[in-house]
């Protein structure tokens, strides 16, 4: 009951009138000049367009404040992926050719780094990781900029039935497809976006333990413990996965 109240409170009141953490994360990406390319499945994922409209983010506080003021007064371009738009979040369905090229680059870089761990010093290994990151970053940036015509993409809205069913009708055969997504559905890969699923799991876990032991106190304690265990596993495995996929050293993760 407490979890249900929390979900309703955050969805109806807190995120609307106090703070929407997902929107703030998108704003942070833009201010930091960082875009996020996330594949939750082989050819499906999410994209957050965080490219700064000012061209760079390494600046002092005075200039940053002036840049934000210019944005507020509409004296610069908009943040959207397409010109004169504000759309920054997308569901993406990439072509098989794009996925194969992505895997080819990532596999080459990973294989190049692997044996070096036994031969090179930690400094050289870090330099190789940095070069690997730069290579992948340049490829994804050029893909967003329509440099690779054989792996181009289009931006479109989902049909009403596609939004209702939560699926896509078009196959990205020749071009990848970026679907406008104002609902920040990238939260589906976060703990923050799966409160309902976690709530149902907790209720089922509590009910099973309560029926088996006839003790709601023990059921509550075990439910809390399994929450902490899953949170620990999520943080630990998530950091290792993030380090492997982004080629960013674990020391730079917050």
Higher confidence at residue 11 or residue 176? 176
In a domain? residue 220: no
Percent of the chain with pLDDT over 90: 28
In a domain? residue 108: yes
In a domain? residue 26: yes
In a domain? residue 35: yes
**Does the pLDDT of residue 7 top 60, yes or no?**
yes
- Domain range for 124: 2-193
Q: Tell me, what's the pLDDT at 170?
A: 87
**Phi and psi torsions of 48, nearest 5°:** -110, 115
Q: Tell me, what's the pLDDT at 122?
A: 54
Overall average pLDDT of the 112-140 stretch? 65
**Does the pLDDT of residue 109 top 70, yes or no?**
no
Using CB atoms within 10 Å of the CB of residue 120, give its burial: 0 to 12 exposed, 13 to 18 middle, 19+ buried: middle
Higher confidence at residue 14 or residue 138? 138
Higher confidence at residue 252 or residue 145? 145
* Residue 113 binned pLDDT confidence (cut-offs 50, 70, 90): low
Higher confidence at residue 119 or residue 124? 124
In a domain? residue 60: yes
State the Cα angle at 134 between 50 and 234, rounded to 5°: 65
In a domain? residue 68: yes
pTM of the full predicted structure? Answer: 0.80
Length of the chain: 254
**pLDDT tens digits, one per residue of 54-80:** 877 777 788 888 888 888 888 788 888
In a domain? residue 245: no
Q: Tell me, what's the pLDDT at 124?
A: 63
Convert the chain into a string of H (helix), E (strand) and C (coil): CHHHHHHHHHHHHHHHHHCCHHHHHHHHHHHHCCCEEEECCCCEEEEECCCCCCCCCCCCHHHHHHHHHHHHCCCCCCCCCCCCCCCCEEEEECCHHHHHHHHHHHHHHHHHHCCHHHHCCHHHHHHHHHHHHHHHHHHHHHHHCCCCHHHCEEEECCCHHHHHHCCCCCCCCCCEEEEECCCCHHHHHCHHHCHHHHHHHHHHHHHHHHHHHCCHHHHHHHHHHHHHHHHHHHHHHHHHHHHHHHCCCHHHCC
* Residue 110 binned pLDDT confidence (cut-offs 50, 70, 90): low
In a domain? residue 210: no
Helix axes 96-113, 122-144, angle to 10 degrees: 170
Give the number of domains in the chain: 1
Task: Yes or no: say if 90 and 179 are a contact pair by the CB < 8 Å rule.
Answer: yes
* Residue 222 binned pLDDT confidence (cut-offs 50, 70, 90): very high
Query: What value does the mean pLDDT of the chain take?
Result: 83
């Amino acid at each position: 009951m407490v979890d249900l109240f929390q979900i309703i409170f955050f969805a109806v009141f807190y995120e609307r009138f106090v703070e929407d953490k997902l929107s703030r994360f998108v704003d942070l990406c833009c201010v930091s000049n960082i875009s996020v390319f996330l594949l939750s499945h082989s050819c499906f994922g999410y994209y957050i367009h965080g490219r700064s409209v000012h061209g760079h983010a390494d600046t002092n506080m005075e200039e940053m404040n002036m840049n934000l003021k210019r944005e507020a007064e509409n004296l610069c371009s908009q943040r959207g992926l397409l010109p004169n738009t504000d759309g920054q979040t997308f569901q993406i369905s990439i072509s098989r050719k794009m996925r194969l090229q992505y895997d080819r680059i990532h596999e080459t870089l990973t294989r190049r780094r692997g044996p070096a761990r036994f031969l090179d010093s930690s400094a050289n290994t870090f330099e190789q990781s940095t070069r690997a990151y730069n290579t992948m970053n340049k490829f994804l940036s050029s893909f967003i900029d329509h440099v690779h015509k054989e792996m181009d993409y289009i931006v479109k809205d989902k049909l009403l039935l596609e939004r209702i069913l939560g699926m896509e009708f078009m196959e990205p055969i020749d071009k990848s497809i970026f679907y406008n997504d104002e609902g920040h559905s990238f939260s589906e890969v976060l703990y923050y976006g799966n409160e309902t699923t976690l709530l149902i799991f907790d209720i089922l876990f509590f009910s099973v333990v309560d029926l088996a032991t006839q003790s709601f106190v023990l059921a509550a304690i075990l439910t809390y413990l399994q929450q902490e265990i899953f949170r620990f596993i999520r943080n630990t495995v998530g950091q290792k996965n993030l380090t492997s996929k982004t080629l960013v050293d674990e020391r730079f993760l917050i």
